Every structure is written in C-alpha cells, then in structure tokens.
Amino acid sequence: MFTHIKTSRINKDRVTFLSRKLNLGTENLIARIAFAYSISKNRKLDLSEIKDSQGKEYTKTVLFGNNSPFYESLICINYNLYKTDKDIPKYIKMHIDDGLELIHQEILENPNLDGFDYLIDKIELGLKSIAD
C-alpha cells in the first residue's frame, strides 16, 4: 500500500523540537502520538488541504512497526474507506501533520509541561470521555 510517509516541511522542525522537549524517545514516537491525538479529535480532514511532503520521512515499519494494520484501520473507520483505498497514506500523513501542530501549540502555551505529564493528562481526558 505505502512504504513511507513524509511530514510537512514545518513539521520536520516540530518533530525534533517535540522529541527533545517531551523526552519520550525517538522521533517516530512523537509521530505516532501525533497521529493518535489527531484521530482522537474525531475530525475529518480534507484531502484538498494536504500540506507539502518536504519534512521528516518515516518508513512504514519505523512509523508503525508491526502494527500498521491497526493504524490504517483507524483511518478506514474514520473515513469509511476500504483497506486498499489509495488515499489512506494521505490521511495518515495529514493526521500526523495535524497532531504535530496540535501538540506543538499546546507545548508553546504550557512550556513547563514534560512528556510524562503531557501523556498522563491526555490519558485522563480520554478516560473521562469514555466514562461520560
């Protein structure tokens, strides 16, 4: 289906900044978190608004490991697509870019936040939304 994904040019620097600031591990982890965070917002992104692909490049394996079918299925469910749809990689790219932008903005607004506190906060919000 796809072999690699590239972030937008502006998100290349954000990946590095967020990886260092949050100290959660390698740069592919912040991309996974960004993807999941964007998907969790339950928004449908418009393919006509896809950004450039001149940023950080991830192979499918580095980005998702052996779990790529699960990540791809999140896109299929969110957009009502079949698993072989040619637009799945574009949606994945868009959600990674979107999530990086969201996380970057939150970190700028709250610069004392570290990675552990950031993740715990998001987990608590997710659990509250399930309980409601």
Among candidate residues 9, 2, 4, 1, the one with its CA nearest the CA of residue 97? 9
Q: What sign does the dihedral 35-36-38-43 (CA atoms) show?
A: positive
Among candidate residues 38, 37, 32, 95, the one with its CA nearest the CA of residue 65? 32
Strand partners, 57: 6
pLDDT at position 113: 86
Share of the chain above pLDDT 90, in %: 77
Going from N- to C-terminal start, the domains of the chain cover: 4-131
C-beta atoms surrounding 66 within 10 Å? 7
The pTM assigned to this predicted structure is 0.92
CATH classification number, 4-131, choose in 1.10.1220, 1.25.10, 1.10.1760, 3.40.50: 1.10.1220
C-beta atoms surrounding 82 within 10 Å? 7
pLDDT at position 40: 92
